[in-house]
Amino acid sequence: MATILKDNAKLERVLRVYGIEKPVVVTLTARDITFRVANTKMSVCASWPTVIEKACETPINVPSYLAGRPLELLKRKASEAKQRNTKPA
């Protein structure tokens, strides 16, 4: 069952992101999501409607049969990356 955040509640997690030296703090609220690099002023914030809009947007270099199917696109890209990483002996 999905968790529903109350209007005044926050959920924070600390992540390690490849290419960023410091940890990234992710803060979820009922209205938005924020990514902030710890101990700096660098941050990115987006409302949930914007996040959903961007997640459903198909980049121009995606094959037409995967247009509008972000989950299938991610699965295919993950499969291709896995095949590249496993080399025959």
Res 2: pLDDT: 66
In a domain, 31, yes or no: yes
Q: What is the pLDDT of residues 35-74, one digit of tens each?
A: 999 999 899 999 989 988 887 777 788 888 888 787 888 8
Res 69: pLDDT: 80
pTM of the predicted protein model: 0.60
Alpha carbons 82 and 76: distance in angstroms, whole number = 10
User: Average pLDDT over the chain, rounded to whole?
Assistant: 84
Instruction: For residue 19, give its domain range.
Output: 11-85
For the chain, the domain total comes to 1
Res 28: pLDDT: 92
CA nearest to 32, candidates 12, 14, 48: 48
Alpha carbons 43 and 49: distance in angstroms, whole number = 19
In a domain, 33, yes or no: yes
